[in-house]
Chain A
Amino acid sequence: MMEQMDALYREVILDHFKDPRNVGELPNPTVRAEGTNPLCGDEIAFSLYLDGDRVRDIRFQGKGCAISQATASMLTEEIKGKSLAEVRQLIQAMKGLMQGQEPDPSVDLGNLETLAGVRKFPVRIKCAALSWNVLEQGLQRHHEEGRAP
């Protein structure tokens, strides 16, 4: 069973948990997105600068378990510099991965692929899913506000 623990808490995940990247809050962000897991109290808040259609910078602040916090940290690294279309594709790929689908070969998941270990622990899937849901809702809201007259 300890091998399965190692598969859940991969070294790269533990590394991001202990030494999270891009922590903080951007002043006057283009997009702000926050959310919690009511069941376990995990909290994540993202702030983003968009340059036209591209993520120029991103920070996160959060509290919670190793999986939820490491996911947020890895997410910030992966989406910095990506276009919104690429970010949406990544969100869909990660949500699919969490739901047990085979990884989409056309999307490069990078370090994020290590999160696939969480699928063997159904009660922990929501820990890894939180960041993706929060970001998706934040971008959706931004998109709708942008189209409002």
Chain B
Amino acid sequence: MLDATRLRADFPILGRTVHDKPLVYLDNAATTQKPAAVIEALTRFYSHSNANIHRGIHQLAEESTLAYERVRVQIAEFIHSPSSRSIIFTRNTTESINLVAQAWGRANLKPGDEILLTEMEHHSNLVPWQLVAQATGAVLSFVGLTDDGRLRMEEYDRKLTSKTKLVGVTHMSNALGTINALEGLIRQAHQRGAVVLVDGAQSVPHLPVNVEQLDCDFLAFSAHKMLGPTGVGVLYGRESLLEAMPPFLGGGEMIADVKLTGSTWNELPWKFEAGTPNIADVVAFGAALDYLQGLGMPAVQAHERELAGYALERLRAIDGVTLYGPSRLEERGGIVSMNLDGLHPHDVGTILDAEGIAVRAGHHCAKPVMRRLGVAATIRASFYIYNTPDEVDRLADGLLTVKKFFSRSPKAVSR
């Protein structure tokens, strides 16, 4: 078990107050806070090793290159990738998915081919496919959701056909907290000859992910949702697929040779890393991975599940609260999405903020999910390693304050 109270000391920001109240940070699905080790790694890089990588023959360039490439190996180990050649640095999950949609999609999709997605996807796993479908004539189809926010697997069975060329699916829903059982789904897709892209933005930070065991073809995630800096995303790709794909962006670093009218490409993974990458933030991401590895991802998942279980219990007891997502705790991660009767999430969020509680209020970049739930938006509390049961209590108390605030009967006012 994690000792969250002890871990909090590692996160400078958690010591601050918001509107004179101790900060309760429950917006971890948007971005997590950073431990001192990550902030220090960033400072250390710029004050000690900073240089551009893969060129230059001086000491600093060599140190920077080593530090950058070491994180690639660390990531490969973290997700059990057979090779670090499969690990590509991008800006974020969104760019990782766009890379696959553009580089793999344009080369492999033709009119009438199908891209099978789900109604649960974040906009970043919808819009890139809409763009590539428009460009190639491929057709999008979707697996719908049950009322409690799980994939309709019988619909998946029906819609997965020999026309399906790619399946894009989230590992864990950022709007509902649903964790999808992917192993069977991926096996079925492969039997039909489709490749599978997994949006791991919410899973890789929160539970053990093993790409060999999952057998997915692509996995996309972001550093900033797992203690690392913003501006670093990762794409894992099956080596044979990456080898066959054309480049995504063109420029420096991704080439083997350049003539005025044509070029040849660098080898993996650099073929997909055009231009100077976000070196310092990648290096600092290494410190975040060290931190999580020190805790162990099974312990991270167990901690968040315990908090989610406690939150569901406390919030269910509040009159007027509607909770979304699977009722079985085993099928969800540390995200609790809800609404308060008769109130818009933004009004709830504003009052919670006045109480020092940071939650997300909105559509969570998952408008199709909101439409499926029949709501414009929800209030979302999302947990991480440093959250405590006391903070769940603060959230529950905060919601009671909101209810009280809006149930004041206004005095008669002139009409």
- Report A's interface with B, CB cutoff 8 A: 1-2, 4-5, 8-9, 11-12, 14-15, 18, 21, 39-42, 63-67, 77, 111, 121, 124, 127
Contacts and interface: CB of A to CB of B under 8 A. Distances in A.
Given A5-B405, A67-B347, A124-B346, A15 B410 contact: yes
B406 A66 contact: yes
Contact of B346 (A1, A14, A65): A65
Contacts of A1: 19-21, 354-355
Given A1-B19, A5-B354, A5-B405, A39 B362 contact: yes
B344 A66 contact: yes
Contacts of A12: 410, 413
Nearest to B375: A41
Interface size class of B (residues with CB under 8 A): 20 to 34
Contacts of A67: 347
A1 B350 CA distance: 11
Interface of B: 19-21, 343-344, 346-347, 350-351, 354-355, 362-363, 370, 376-377, 405-406, 408, 410-411, 413, 415
Contacts of A42: 344, 376
A12 B411 CA distance: 8
Contacts of A41: 363, 370, 376-377
A11 B376 contact: no
Given A11-B408, A66-B406, A67-B347, 15 more contacts: A1-B354, A1-B355, A4-B354, A5-B354, A12-B410, A15-B413, A18-B410, A40-B346, A40-B376, A41-B370, A41-B377, A64-B376, A65-B344, A66-B343, A127-B346
Contacts of A21: 415
A116 to B, nearest CB: 16
B344 A11 contact: no
Contacts of B344: 40, 42, 64-66
Contacts of A40: 344, 346, 362, 376-377
Contacts of B343: 66
Contacts, number: 57
Closest 8 CB pairs of A and B: A65-B344, A41-B376, A15-B410, A1-B19, A1-B354, A11-B410, A65-B346, A66-B347
Nearest to A110: B414
Contacts of A11: 408, 410-411, 413
Contacts of B411: 11
Given A4-B354, A65-B344, A14 B377 contact: no
9 contacts: A4-B354, A5-B354, A9-B347, A11-B408, A40-B362, A42-B344, A64-B344, A65-B344, A66-B406
B343 to A, nearest CB: 8
A9 B405 contact: yes
A30 to B, nearest CB: 25
A15 to B, nearest CB: 4
Contacts of A4: 354
